[in-house]
């Protein structure tokens, strides 16, 4: 009798163990599938976003830009007699110039032409020049030569650098941002600011960490490792490593 009870108990225990193992494996598989689907969704969104940015930038450059330039030519060709009208026309011409400059800035932010023409380092230098012309943040940028970055990775790395700089401007209250791009031997991007820093986990929970998610997703798309080191009142350091 005791042997039968022992046998039954053993069988039941084994069945329970199998059922529990099945559920654990199912949960792990589901989580992996969910994470994969999330990553694929984010990748698809980023790809569509870049395509839409490119389309809008081309439309601005090829359509609205020339149209506004033509409007200015016609305005300048108008023979104005009265001084009041002349001042009004000059003011209107100035507004057209401002609009053209604004369109160029928007077009650049959507799709920097220098990235395709000159590569990541020069595109970053140009972007920093534009930023420091408008903001008091000091950006110290150094980069190695002959980085040989894959073309398909450059746009994502550039967007990450953009995100780092914009986040520093908006949230860090930093005086200086150090930015480095080099090889050790993998491609490495390091940014470090002297700003407020933040609680990483709290930021992910409260705001959803959209900027962080975007950078992490772009790193995944180019098989790069993303690391962020930050504490309140101790600034923020980001390290990105890409095997090339």
128 and 237 co-located in one domain: yes
119 and 229 co-located in one domain: yes
pLDDT value at residue 206: 63
Residues whose CB is less than 8 angstroms from the CB of residue 223 and which lie 6 or more positions away in sequence, other chains included:
242, 243
121 and 228 co-located in one domain: yes
100 and 123 co-located in one domain: no
106 and 167 co-located in one domain: no
Longest CA–CA span in the chain (Å) reads 119
Q: What is the pTM of this model?
A: 0.74
Report how far apart, in Å, the C-alpha atoms of 205 and of each of 110, 158, 164, 199 are.
29, 26, 20, 10
Q: Indicate the angle between helix axes 65-77 and 83-110, nearest 10 degrees.
A: 170
**Beta strands per DSSP E along the chain:** 138-143, 176-183, 187-193, 225-230, 236-242
pLDDT value at residue 242: 93
pLDDT value at residue 208: 57
106 and 181 co-located in one domain: no
43 and 91 co-located in one domain: yes
Range of the domain at 82: 2-110
| 8 A C-beta contact, residue 228 and residue 212 | yes
Residue with tokens 């200086």: 176
What is the chain's length?
244
At 179, is the secondary structure helix, strand, or coil? strand
pLDDT value at residue 175: 95
Helices (H), 60-119: 65-77, 83-110, 113-118
103 and 62 co-located in one domain: yes
Q: Are strands 187-193 and 236-242 parallel, antiparallel or unpaired?
A: antiparallel
Displacement of CA 57 from its chain's centroid (Å): 17
125 and 143 co-located in one domain: yes
Number of domains in the chain: 2
Residues whose CB is less than 8 angstroms from the CB of residue 7 and which lie 6 or more positions away in sequence, other chains included:
none
20 and 137 co-located in one domain: no
Which CATH number characterizes residue 141's domain?
3.30.565.10
| 8 A C-beta contact, residue 193 and residue 235 | yes
125 and 22 co-located in one domain: no
pLDDT value at residue 38: 67
- 110, 144, 169 - which closes a domain: 110
235-244: buried (b, 16+ CB within 10 Å) or exposed (e) per residue? bbebebbbee
72 and 155 co-located in one domain: no
pLDDT value at residue 178: 97
pLDDT value at residue 63: 78
- 110, 132, 167 - which closes a domain: 110
- 86, 110, 134 - which closes a domain: 110
Residues of the chain with confidence (pLDDT) below 50: none
pLDDT value at residue 21: 82
């Amino acid at each position: 009798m005791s042997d039968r009870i022992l046998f039954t108990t053993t069988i039941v225990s084994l069945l329970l163990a199998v059922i529990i193992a099945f559920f654990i494996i199912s949960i792990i598989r589901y989580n992996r599938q969910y994470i994969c689907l999330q990553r694929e969704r984010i990748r698809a969104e980023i790809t569509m976003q870049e395509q839409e940015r490119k389309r809008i930038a081309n439309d601005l450059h090829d359509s609205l830009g020339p149209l506004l330039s033509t409007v200015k030519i016609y305005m300048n060709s108008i023979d104005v007699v009265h001084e009041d009208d002349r001042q009004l026309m000059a003011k209107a011409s100035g507004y057209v110039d401002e609009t053209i400059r604004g369109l160029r800035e928007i077009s650049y932010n959507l799709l920097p032409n220098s990235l395709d023409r000159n590569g990541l380092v020069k595109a970053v230098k140009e972007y920093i020049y534009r930023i420091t012309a408008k903001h008091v943040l000091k950006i110290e940028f150094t980069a190695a030569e002959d980085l040989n970055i894959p073309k398909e990775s450059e746009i994502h790395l550039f967007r990450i650098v953009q995100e780092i700089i914009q986040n520093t401007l908006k949230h860090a209250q930093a005086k200086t941002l150090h930015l480095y791009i080099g090889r050790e031997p993998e491609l490495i991007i390091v940014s470090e600011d002297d700003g407020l820093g933040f609680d990483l986990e709290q930021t992910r929970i409260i705001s959803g960490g959209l900027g962080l998610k975007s950078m992490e997703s772009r790193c995944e798309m180019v098989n790069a490792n993303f690391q962020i080191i930050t504490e309140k009142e101790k600034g923020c350091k980001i390290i990105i490593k890409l095997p090339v």
